[in-house]
Amino acid sequence: MQSRRIVITDVGIISALGMGFSKVNEALAMPPVKTTVKDFEFHQFENEIPCYGIRDFDPVAVLGKKGLRTKDNSTKLLLGTFESELKASMETPDDQNRPGICIGTAFGSVQSIGDFLSDSIVNGVGNVNPQAFANTVINSPTGNANIRFIARNLSATVSTGFNSGIDAIIYAFDHISRGYLNSIVAGGLEEISYYSLLGLARTGILSKSGNCRPFATDSDGIVMGEGCALFLLETIESAQARNATVLAEIVGVCSTFDPNAAFGDSIDSEAAAAAIKGAIEQAKISIDDIDFIASGASGNRRSDSIEASAIKSIFGTKTPVTAYKALTGECYGASGAIVTMCALSDMKNGKISGIGNTYSTINEIPVVFDTIKKDISYALVTSVSCDGNCSALVIKNIK
């Protein structure tokens, strides 16, 4: 049980929405910016694949040249997010009270992992740069962040597929709740890579039309995105001691798992509903207190159907539901954190961002297509994966 109040103070994001939390509000009001990818160093696709790529991020400008030569894209993305908006929070002279680091990612530096093997096949084992080997472990970006910012008390990498980003936040929340640390930077990270795109294409869930339409009855799949979103979670006492601005409080979290979904074709929504109810119960609020739902829907018909059934069984069709992945793409392991960041931005700006053109939704879920101006007190963030992982958290606006 939660025994400490845990708040969000500093935040940082780099994604298709731009670089920096201050950019999110404006970007959510604009049409999504898509690009395409086709050619990678060792492999190429036959056709251009639509995606939501990162923009406005120059690693050298943010991090400087020193030490970047052996850092891969995922590591640069994580370090850049820290450096641009969370650096001051990591520079406390007291090593014991420096925030820990917990990063959620599905694949980590999978591009580096695959390229290291491809390089050895194409050019021979003797010609592979041995320094590149350090990038071939999933926790390499987290480890590099710990080294750069001298975080000696927690170095955690959470990998639960599509739920990794939100589960890292929940892990950090639980860690602080139990008194192990007073503050942790937690969030999600994922890059667009040849190997992840290939895997998603072979499963048949990439959109052939290149359009991301969450909860749509006729959706044809997801559009890949990438990014990194980080939150400084700390006790209210820690925030007050350093006169930090408190943005929001995390008041409820819950994770569940449906083994039938993981090992079969189950579309049972019981586990998803249990995660939602568990987070609301821990928050000690009622269902009617939730002002809007920041869903994890992405256009994947199977997981969208599970989430839609869970939402309708609890809320009916009266609570507004938005689906930020229509604007960011499916960022896989980073998505839960990026969706949380978007929800926080809307909360602080008194609105629920619409996702654009209208369409028929599964179970008549009340998706917000046109932006609604609304004073927000509580937002529910959900993440439901077709692999059986279901997570939810409730954030409370601190005004």
pLDDT at 2 over 70: no
Confidence of residue 262 (pLDDT cuts 50, 70, 90): low
Tokens of 17: 């929405």
Query: Is the pTM above the cut of 0.85?
Result: yes
154-164 average pLDDT score: 94
Which pLDDT score, from 0 to 100, does residue 93 have? 65
Do the domains spanning 6-241 and 250-397 agree at the CATH topology level?
A: yes
**CA of residue 177 relative to chain centroid, distance:** 21
Confidence of residue 16 (pLDDT cuts 50, 70, 90): very high
Least confidently predicted of 100-104, 106-110, 389-393: 106-110
Confidence of residue 104 (pLDDT cuts 50, 70, 90): very high
pLDDT at 366 over 80: yes
247-275 average pLDDT score: 86
pLDDT at 268 over 60: yes
Q: How far is CA 176 from CA 119, 222, 336, in A?
A: 42, 35, 20
pLDDT at 14 over 90: yes
Least confidently predicted of 70-84, 120-134, 274-288, 317-331: 120-134
Which pLDDT score, from 0 to 100, does residue 1 have? 45
pLDDT at 264 over 60: no
217 and 43 in contact (C-beta within 8 Å)? no
pLDDT at 32 over 90: no
Tokens of 15: 């994604």
pLDDT at 146 over 90: yes
- Tens digits of residue pLDDT in 173-190: 999 999 999 999 999 999
144 and 71 in contact (C-beta within 8 Å)? yes
264-285 average pLDDT score: 89
- Is 250-397 a CATH 3.40.50.2300 domain? no
CA 392 to CA 280: how far, in whole Å? 9
- Is 6-241 a CATH 3.55.40.20 domain? no
Which pLDDT score, from 0 to 100, does residue 265 have? 62
Share of the chain above pLDDT 70, in %: 97
Residue 22 buriedness (CB in 10 A; 0-12 / 13-18 / 19+): exposed
Which pLDDT score, from 0 to 100, does residue 152 have? 85
Over the Cα atoms of the chain, what is R_g?
20
pLDDT at 197 over 50: yes
Closest CA to 268 of 323, 313, 221: 313
371-399 average pLDDT score: 95
Q: Give long-range contacts, CB 8 A cutoff, 24+ apart: 92-98.
A: 95/150, 95/152, 95/153, 96/153, 97/182, 97/183, 97/238, 98/149, 98/150, 98/151, 98/152, 98/153
Q: Is 224 left (phi over 0), alpha (psi -120 to 50) or beta?
A: beta
33-51 average pLDDT score: 93
Most confident among 88-97, 104-113, 219-228 (mean pLDDT): 219-228
Other CB atoms within 10 Å distance of the CB of residue 290: 22
Confidence of residue 33 (pLDDT cuts 50, 70, 90): confident
Which pLDDT score, from 0 to 100, does residue 350 have? 97
Domain boundaries, the chain: 6-241, 250-397
pLDDT at 330 over 80: yes
- Tens digits of residue pLDDT in 66-96: 989 889 999 999 999 999 999 999 987 677 7
